[in-house]
Chains A and B, each alone.
Chain A
Amino acid sequence: DIVMTQSPVSLPVTPGEPASISCRSSQSLLHGNGYNYLHWYLQKPGRSPQLLIHLGSIRASGVPDRFSGSGSGTDFTLRISRVVAEDVGVYHCMQALQTPYTFGQGTRLEIK
């Protein structure tokens, strides 16, 4: 199975400041079609996960442009340019290149 490792586990951020989350995979997530099968989700407290970024860097519909994804192969980053209160929750990366699809352990973003 592909192992996904996120860091940090906990991320306290002052509103208006940037934030960055790392996600590493034990194998390359680069598909033969040139896309990385790496997706980012935000799970707000008490809610189901919601898709933020797919294929490594493409924002899902309705996702604010303060969110961006980058990386390729085994090394990926989710960035928030300026954190706001509604960004609180747990961020998960997921690989969907091969089954079983696997998730990182999650990064809990909290407001300082």
Chain B
Amino acid sequence: QVQLVQSGAEMKKPGASVQVSCKASGYTFTSHSLHWVRQAPGQRLEWMGAINPGNGNSKYSQKFQDRVTFTRDTSANTVFMELRSLRSEDTAVYFCTNPLSFGGNAFDYWGQGTQVTVSS
């Protein structure tokens, strides 16, 4: 069955970088985009961008364009999200998700979420 398994919780200081991984299984990794969505406390869900694991091309939300990079390791069926220059407002749960089964870019599979806490 399809699974997206994310790396564990991270605690970082302001100005640092964090990398979150998302390991996919149960489908052809290179055939479907993987997206990143975050949820800060009390805030709405926020789309950060997506990567095409087939060719490595990424599309980023303009809000994060300068600070985020998505990469992939096709040998490990894993996608990575790196967020740099962290600030307290980046404290959030980060999800990977993909539109696998349905049309209209509907996200039908989600990782379990990774808590990232930014605090001095």
Contacts and interface: CB of A to CB of B under 8 A. Distances in A.
Interface of A: 31, 35-37, 39, 41, 48-51, 54-55, 58, 60-61, 92, 94, 96, 99-106
Summarize A's interface: helix, strand, loop or mixed.
loop
Contact of A55 (B62, B97, B104, B110): B104
Contact of A49 (B46, B105, B107): B107
Interface of B: 35, 44-47, 49, 59, 61-63, 95, 97, 99, 101-108, 110-113
Given A48-B110, A100-B61, A37 B46 contact: no
Contacts of B111: 48
B108 A60 contact: yes
Nearest to A105: B44
A99 B45 contact: no
A61 B100 CA distance: 12
B17 to A, nearest CB: 22
Residue with the highest number of chain A CB atoms closer than 10 Å, among B46, B63, B101, B108: B108
Contact of A99 (B59, B99, B102, B113): B59
Contact of B106 (A51, A100, A102, A104): A51
Contact of B102 (A31, A49, A60, A106): A60
